[in-house]
Structure 1
Amino acid sequence: MTEISGTRSLPPSQPVSRPSQIAADLALKLLQPLDGLLAAGDSAQAEVIAVKETAQSFQLLLKLTLANGSQATIASSSSRPVAQGSLLNVTALSETRLAVTLQGGEKALGSLDLDLLPVGTLLQGKVVATEVAAQGKAQAAVYKALIRLLNTPLAGRQLSIESPRPLTIGSLLTAMVQGSQKLQFLPLSAQLDQLELSQQLASQQGRQGSLEGLFRALQGMGRDNLPEALRGTMDKLLGALPSARQLGDAKGLAQALENSGLLLESKLLTGQTAALSQDFKGNLLRLIAQLLPMLPTPTPTPTPTTLPGTGTSSAMAQALPTFIRNALGALGQANARQQALSFPLPSRLTQALDGEEDLEALLKLAAAAVSRLQTHQLSSLTQSQVTPEGNLLTTWQLEIPIRNQQEIAPLQIKLQQERDGKAKPGEQKESLWRIELAFDLEPLGPLQVQAQLAQGSVSSKLWAERASTASLIDLELPQLHERLVAAGLTVGELTCCQGKPTQGPRTNLEQRWVDETA
C-alpha cells in the first residue's frame, strides 16, 4: 500500500521527516562559478543528466535551460540524492549556490477527491521525479515521488506520493484508489490479467444470445432426416435440464448448480469427468462439435475462454508500452464492460430457424448460448475481488434452463459471499451472503429477487413486472415469513414492488446483514 503525501503519518515504527515538497529548499553547491549565466535571484529550468555518489555527498550534472533558450551544463554537489532525469526549477543564490525545487512539485496533489475518483478507480501515471525522504539511522527507507496522471478527469495533474520502494523515473504505473490518501499499486501481471479478462468479457458479451431461442429451435426442429448421433445429443441436452420441482429440493438445486456449466473448466482441469454428460455447457459443446462437420462452410464458433494468467499475458507484454498503456487506460472507463456486468443479462434473441432442418442457424444459436454462459463465468471472475474494507468477495453468476411443464425458461442466479478479511488466524470468519434471481415463468411473468443473509437473519425484496403478480406475492409474504421463522431464522424486511430494480452495481438491499442456513 502506498500513501499519498499529505497529513497522514506513517506507522510509529517508521517515523520519517516529511518535507512538504520533494527536494524543496534543497541548496546545491556549484563545483564551478556560474560566470554570469545567472545573476543572484534569477531562475532557470534544469534537468539532472548524471548523478555520482561520493563519500560525503552526491555530485549532480545539470543541463540548464535559460530564459533566452540557451543551454549550459554545470556540475554541483548535493547533500541529498536527486534521481537522474528529474526536472528542476533552480534559483541562483550566489555565484556558487543554487536553490532547487522539482518542477510541478509545489502544485502536486496531496490527496484525492473521492467524489471525483471513488474507491476502486484505476489510475495510470508516469513517474516524473523521485527521491529518498529524510530518515534516521536503522529505519526503513521511504521514497517520495511525483506522478503525472495519464487518465481520469485529473489527467495531466501531478500527485505527490510516498512509497516503501523506489520508483524509476519514466516508469508507468497503475494503482487502485483505496482512500483519499491511499493507493494500491498493481503489478504488471495483475494489470495484464485484468486487461485480458475485460477483453474476453466484452468479446463474449458481443456474441452471446438468449437461451430461449436455442430451446425453441431444438423443440420445433424436425428430426426425421438427422443422424442418430445428433438426435441423441439433442435429446440428452433437453433431458438433462432440471424441472422447477427439482429446484425446490436442496439436493436437486445443488446438482443443478453443479451441472450449469459454471464449473466445466474446473472439472476438466481436475479430471472430474464422470458427470460431464449432465453438464449443460458440455452438452452444448458436443452439439456444436456434431453440427460442424454437417455444414459445407462451418460457421465460426466461440473459442474456449482463456482464463487470466494462463499464457496470454506474456504475449501481451511484448507489445508494451504503448498498447498496454492505452488498453489499460480503458480499464478505468467502466462503460465498455458495464453492460456485460449488468444483472440480469438482458434478453437477446438471435437468428431463428428458416426451415425445419436449418442446421447452420441451429449452430449459431448454440454458439451464442455458449457465449452467454461464458459471459456469466467471466462476470463471476470480474466481480470476485478484495473490497476496500479488506473483505474477500467471491461471486458465482450462472444461468440454468428449467423445465416448467412444456415451457423451458432460463433462471439467472448471482450468488455472492463476502468474508471478513480482518479475522485473526483460527478465528471464525463472518460471512455476508447475497443472492439475486431473475426469471420469467408463466403465468407470473418477469420476476427478480434480491436477498441478503448473515448471522441468522434474512431480508428480501421482490420485483414483479405484472401488477397481478405483485398483488399475489404480497398476499403470500406472511406465509413466507412464517416458514422462514420455522426454519430458525430471524426475519427482517420482506417486501414486493411492481416494476424492476434499479440497474447498476448498487442494487443490493442497502447493506442489511442477513444470513441463511437453508
Structure 2
Amino acid sequence: MTGEFTILPVPQLIPANSRPMLLASELLQLTPPLEGLIAPGQSAQAEVLSLKQTDQTDQTFQLLLKVTTDNGRQTMVQASSNQPLPQGASVVVTQPSPGNLAITVQQALSASVAALTRLDTTQLPVGTLLQGKVMTTQALPQVPGQPAVYRSLVTLLNTVLSGTTLTLDSPQPLRLGSLLSAQVQSSQSLSLVPLAARQDQLAVARQLITQQGRQGSLDSLISTLQNLPRDAELPDDLRAAINTLLADLPDIHQLSNPKGLAQALQNSGLFLEANLLQGQNPALTPDLKSNLLRLIAQIMPQVPGGPGFDPGATASMLARALPGFVRSALGTLGQVGESTQPISFPLPSRLLQSLAGEGDLENLLRLAAAAVSRLQTHQLSSLEQTGRTPEGNLQTTWQLEIPMRNLHDIVPLQIKIQHEEKEQQAQQEKHEKREQKEQLWRVELAFDLEPLGPLQVQAQLVRGSLSSQLWAERPYTASLIASQLGELRERLRASGLNVSDLDCHQGTPPQGNQTRLEQRWVDETA
C-alpha cells in the first residue's frame, strides 16, 4: 500500500463527475421496519451513532441512528444505506413508509461536513502522529486513463480530534476495521506509518528501560578477568573462553588504523544478531557479545544449582540471552503515549557491588550478564534513534561500545554514528549531484584516557564540510587540546575536508535538545 493519503479539499466535497452522496429518490432501509416512527408530513432530527461496513466488496453500510422527534421522544433505530453517513453526522429524516427513512440531497450534503476534509495544522502540527480505525472503504467512479481512487472514512482515536471522522482518498483500499497510523504532512496530506513498526518502537522503548537497570560497565568485568589468580582452578573450557575474550580486545594502536577501526566496529557486538540471521557461525568471527555469551555459558555449569551446558546448543544459548520483545496487542491506538526520549549518550559508568558471601564465579556471572545488558542497551538505543526526524528526514543510528586496551588499562570507547538523509523533493530528483550532497553524518565519541581524563568529541560532516567540538573535563587537558587545534585543522584539510568549526571546551556537552551540532539543510551556494 502507498504511504500517502489525501484529505479531501473542502470545495470538492462532492466532485462534479460523481453522483451526490444520496439522491432524493434513495432511502435508508430500516432493519427491522418500524411503523409510525415519524407521523406523516412530519420530520425528525437524526444523529449517526455508529457506522459499519461488513464487507469491503459490498457497498451497503449499516447505521445506528438516534432519532429525536418534535415532542422530544428519542428512539434508536438501525438502518442500511448505499452510501456512508459519517459518525456524528446530524440529518433531518422523514418516514414515507414503515421500512424506510428519507433524506434530501441538501441534508445529505450537510451531513458530509461532519467528516473532516482539512486538518488545522495549528492544532495538529506537521509531524503529528494520527491514529484511527477504518470504518468504510469504497471505490470512486474511475476516470478513463486515471488510476483507481478509494475513499475511506476513518475515526480518529487520539489527539484533540479523538472521536471525529476523517475522509481519506488513497490509490488502494484500506482494510475495514484496521488500525491506521499516519503522520501529518500538510493540512491535506498524511503519510502512512506501519503499525508493526510502531509496535516494535514501543517494544524497544520498554526493553530499553529494563536493560538500563541491568547493565554494568564493561571494564568491571574485564578488570576482574585480568586479575583472576593464575593458580585459580578453572575448567579448561572456561579458561579458554576468558582467554579468547581478552585476546580479541583491540588496543589503541589498532583503533588508530582505519582498517583496524572498521574491524573493531564490526566485532563490537552491535551486529551479532544481523550476522546470525545471515547464517554466519558466531564461533568463526571474533565478536564481543558472542564472547560474553560464550563466557556465561561456560560459567553457568560451575555455579551451584546452575544448568548443565551442551556445547552443541550455542545457537539456543544465544537466543535465550537476547532481549525478548513483548509485542502485545495495543487494543485501541489511543493508548499509545508520547515517544520516549532517547537514552543519553554516553552511557554513565555503572559499577556493581560485590555480592557478600558469594563465590568468585557468582560475581563473575553477574558481571558478565551486566556487560551483555550494557551492549544490548547500546543496540536498543540505536533502534530507538533510527527512523524519521521531525523534519521528515530518514535517520539511521549505530551506537556501540568497544573496550580498548591501553597498556595495562581498559578504556571503554563509546561511539555513536548517525546518518541523516534528506527526502528529496520532486523537482530536485533530476539533480543527481545535489541528491548526493543531501546527506549528513554525525559522530560522537566518549572515553576516559589517563592522564587526559574524560573526553567527548562531537563532529558532523555535510557536503564535504566538517564541524567539530571537543570537550575535556580537566582544565589542563582542555588547554592542551586547544593548543593543538591548528595542527589538527591542517591535517584534516590535507585529507580533503573543508573544516568550518573546530573548538575545544572545558566541561561536558550540554544535555537535551541542543546536544547535537546545529545544522540546517540550506545550500549556501544557491
**Aligned mates of 1:240, 1:483 — CA distance in 2:** 31
Task: Indicate which of 322, 328, 338 corresponds to 1:305.
Answer: 322
**2: CA distance between counterparts of 1:42 and 1:178?**
40
Structure 1 residue aligned with 2:458: 450
Does the 8 A contact of 2:179 with 2:195 survive in 1?
no
In the other structure, the counterpart of 1:375 is 377
Return the offset for 1:383.
3.1
* Corresponding position of 1:358: 360
1:325 alignment partner, SS class: coil
Equivalent position of 1:226 in the other structure: 233
Q: CA deviation at 1:367?
A: 0.8
Aligned residues: 484
CA gap of 1:276–1:444, structure 2 versus 1, over 3 A, is: farther
* Residues 462/512 of structure 1: CA separation in 2 closer, same or farther (3 Å cut): farther
Q: How big is the shift at 1:155?
A: 3.6
Task: Tell me if 1:212 matches 2:219.
Answer: yes
Quick check: 2:14–2:21 contact (8 Å CA) kept in 1?
no
Q: CA deviation at 1:105?
A: 4.5
Q: Report deviation, 1:196.
A: 4.2
Matched, 1:89 2:101: no
Which of these residues, 29, 37, 42, is aligned with residue 26 of structure 2? 29
Aligned partner of 1:405 among 404, 407, 410: 407
- Structure 2 counterpart of 1:463: 471
What's the CA shift string for 1:444-465, capped at 9, x where partnerless? Answer: 2222211111333211112223
- Residue 268 of structure 2: which of 260, 268, 273 is its match? 260
CA–CA separation in structure 2 for the residues paired with 1:495 and 1:455: 20
Asked if 1:238 corresponds to 2:246, the answer is: yes
- Choose 391-400 or 87-96, whichever is displaced more: 87-96
More displaced, 356-365 or 185-194? 185-194
Pairs within 5 Å for 1:89-108 = 89-92=90-93, 97-98=103-104, 99-100=107-108, 105-106=113-114, 108=116
Whether contact under 8 Å (1:125, 1:147) holds in the other structure is yes
**Structure 2 contact 88–164 (Cα < 8 Å) conserved:** no
What's the CA shift for 1:273?
A: 4.2
Distance 2:10 2:471 in 1: 45
Deviation at 1:387, TM superposition (A): 5.4
**Contact map agreement 2:355 2:363 (CA 8 A) in 1:** yes
| Structure 2 unmatched ranges of 5 or more | 97-101, 308-316
CA offsets 1:320-341 (integer angstroms, 9 cap, x no match) = xxx3236x66655223xx35x4
Task: Give the 3-state SS of the residue equivalent to 1:472 in structure 2.
Answer: helix
Q: What's the RMSD between the two structures over aligned residues?
A: 4.3
**Within-5 A mapping of 1:271-282:** 271-273=279-281, 276=284, 278-282=286-290
Q: Which is further off, 409-418 or 230-239?
A: 230-239
Instruction: Provide the rounded CA distance (Å) in 1 between the counterparts of 2:260 and 2:65.
Output: 77
**Whole-angstrom distance in 1 between the partners of 2:300 and 2:54:** 65
Preserved CA contact (<8 Å) 1:211 1:410? yes
Partner of 2:99: none
User: How high is the TM-score relative to the length of structure 2?
Assistant: 0.76
Stretch deviating more after TM superposition (37-46 or 256-265) = 37-46
Match of 1:147 in 2: 154
Aligned to 2:509: 501
Q: Deviations over 1:390-437 (max 9, x none)?
A: 755332211001122332121111112334654569978344221111
TM-score of the two chains, using structure 1 as the length reference: 0.77
Gaps in structure 1 of 5+ consecutive residues: 10-14
2:91–2:111 Cα contact (<8 Å) kept: no
2:330 to 324, 330, 336: 324
Distance 1:359 1:329, change over 3 A: farther
Aligned to 1:475: 483
Q: 1:236 to 1:171 in 2, by over 3 A?
A: closer
Higher alpha-carbon deviation: 148-157 or 373-382: 148-157
One-letter amino acid of the counterpart of residue 407, structure 1: D
- Using the alignment, how far apart are the partners of 2:112 and 2:233 within structure 1? 73
User: CA separation of 1:179/1:199 partners in 2, compared to 1, >3 Å: closer, same or farther?
Assistant: farther
Aligned-residue offset at 1:277: 5.9
- C-alpha distance in structure 1 between counterparts of 2:290 and 2:171, whole Å: 48
Q: 1:144 to 1:332 in 2, by over 3 A?
A: farther
Q: Which residue of structure 2 aligns with residue 163 of structure 1?
A: 170
Call closer, same or farther: CA 1:475–1:103 in 2, change over 3 Å: farther
> Could you tell me how far apart the structure 2 residues matched to 1:49 and 1:387 are?
36
Which stretch shifts more, 464-473 or 364-373? Answer: 464-473
Q: Say whether 1:250 aligns with 2:267.
A: no
1:24 touches 1:102 (CA, 8 Å); kept in 2?
no
Aligned to 1:416: 418
SS of residue matched to 1:303: helix
Partner of 1:12: none
Contact 1:393-1:416 at 8 Å conserved across structures = yes
Give the distance between the partners of 1:398 and 1:384, measured in 2 at CA: 14
Please say if residues 105 and 146 of structure 1, whose CA atoms lie closer than 8 Å, have aligned partners that are also in contact.
no
Give 1:282 deviation, angstroms: 1.7
Letter in 2 for 1:240: D
> Structure 1 74/122 Cα, relative in aligned 2: closer, same or farther at 3 Å?
closer
State whether structure 2 residue 190 is matched by structure 1 residue 183. yes
How big is the shift at 1:37?
A: 0.7
Looking at structure 1, the residues matched to 25 and 61 of structure 2 have their Cα atoms a distance apart, in angstroms, of 9
- Distance, in Å, in 1 between the alignment partners of 2:272 and 2:60 is 62
The CA deviation string for residues 58-86 of structure 1, in whole angstroms up to 9 with x for no partner, is 8877654322222456677x6xx327x96
Aligned residues of 1:16 and 1:133 also touching (Cα < 8 A): no
Match for 2:74: what amino acid? G
Question: 1:20-40 CA distances to partner (integer Å, 9 max, x unpaired)?
Answer: xx9878756348999671655
Between the aligned partners of 2:288 and 2:422, the Cα distance in structure 1 is 34
Q: Could you tell me how far 1:195 is from its partner in structure 2?
A: 4.4
Matched, 1:65 2:62: no
The change in CA–CA distance for 1:413 and 1:114 in structure 2 (over 3 A counts) is farther
State the 1:2 CA deviation: 3.4
Q: Distance in 2 between matches of 1:424 and 1:305?
A: 44
1:201 paired residue number: 208
Task: State whether residues 89 and 114 of structure 2, in contact with CA within 8 Å, keep that contact through their aligned partners in structure 1.
Answer: no
- 1:365 deviation in Å? 1.2
Query: Are residue 333 (structure 1) and residue 335 (structure 2) matched?
Result: no
The one-letter amino acid paired with 1:379 is S
The 3 A distance-change label for structure 1 pair 154 and 221 is farther
SS at the partner of 2:455? strand
2:295 alignment counterpart: 287
Once the two structures are TM-superposed, the CA of residue 164 in structure 1 deviates from its matched residue by 2.7
The 1-side partners of 2:336 and 2:269 are apart by 27
Whole-Å separation in 2 of the counterparts to 1:49 and 1:185: 23
Q: How far does residue 182 in structure 1 lie from its aligned partner after superposition?
A: 2.9
Query: Given residue 286 of structure 1, which amino acid in structure 2 is its aligned partner?
Result: R
For the 8 Å contact 1:147–1:161, the answer to whether it is kept is: yes
- SS of residue matched to 1:100: helix
Distance in 2 (alpha carbons) for counterparts of 1:65 and 1:90: 10
